[in-house]
Amino acid sequence: MEFEDYFKYFDSSLRLAMVPRFKWSQRSAEEDLYPTFRRAFFLLGSFCLAYQCIGVIIDWSIYGRKAADTQSFVAEISEATGALMLVAVGFFNICVLSNRRPEIEILLTDLRELYPRPRDRNYRQQYYFQMANGLMKFEFIYFWMFTMYYNIAPLVVMMYEYQMDGMEMRYKTQINTWYPWNVYGSAIGYGAGHFATLIACIEGVAFSLGTHNIISIITYQLKLHFDAISNQLLKLDSRHPGANQELRRLIAYHSHVIQIADDFNEIMNCSFLGGLFFSTTALCMTSVAIVLLDLKSAIKCINGLIAFIVYNFVICFLGTEFTLAVDSCDS
């Protein structure tokens, strides 16, 4: 397989976010037929996501903090904090991936130049490709299913209550966000709020997936090279006339890969730290909200809790894989 094969799910996520794919020296830029529309969609989604960070806080300040008893107050603030972390992690990943894009593309150029030929037996290309691709495929399917549920569920519940129970439609967005227009009880206001949530959700999930995908790609590329260096060192025969020259080549190769790993670690440190902070906070506060809220309200939070469990696990897993790869090569 080729180096470009690793980018199937990464490119798909960026395409859904209306962002041009990443490129390197040997990769041509994709044809962009609607640049103005894509740019407008990206800016609108980013703005809606940034606004929701503020809107959740305002909504809690107006409604949530007026709870009558301590249990309701704790439940409200826990639910609001979980919702805030949900939108904050998406906006954070947009900032990281957008600002660090040029540096990441330089790393991808280096990795593309180091990528082995298909028949080189020192590299376990198929194994590491399957590991990286399997993880990205699982995340891609799960988080877009989460996005569909997150945005469709309120509409289904509202229609079900109206059709089956004859209840008056209660227009309420999935995430508790304050808008400068009337959302509750207004079909037009609800539609505008739901659209803002939908477009923000697409941008947030796409960039969160993109961040995980690029971490997964580079991590397994580094593991591929570290594994190859170890194999070549084990096969090195000191009695061979060219052993000294081969050792020098392997030392230079190892130094180059280590430098890429250090640069990657420096670039993505803030992503690891921010992702762990937001997801851990959300896990704690959402768990409290589920325990204290009534069943119907708790069900709304369960999907977000599961999403953050997966998000937190993937960050920790990839961080461990990266650390083990560097340590194994150094030892």
Distance (Å, rounded) from C-alpha 7 to C-alpha 21? 9
pLDDT tens track for 55-92: 888 888 887 777 777 777 887 888 888 888 888 888 99
Q: Which of 27-31, 50-54, 104-108 has the lowest mean pLDDT?
A: 27-31
Q: Does pLDDT of 295 surpass 80?
A: no
The pLDDT tens digits of the residues spanning 89-106 come to: 889 999 989 899 999 999
Rounded to 5, what percent of the chain is helix, strand, coil?
80, 0, 20
- Please determine, for residue 331, whether its predicted confidence score (pLDDT) is greater than 60: no
Mean pLDDT value across the chain: 82
Q: Give the whole-number percent of the chain exceeding pLDDT 90.
A: 10
pLDDT confidence band for 137 (50 / 70 / 90): very high
Q: Summarize the confidence of residues 269-280 as an average pLDDT.
A: 85
- Nearest-angstrom CA–CA distance, 251 and 297: 59
Q: What is the pLDDT of residue 207?
A: 92
Q: Where are the domains of the chain?
A: 3-330
pLDDT of 32: 73
Quote the pLDDT of residue 214.
92
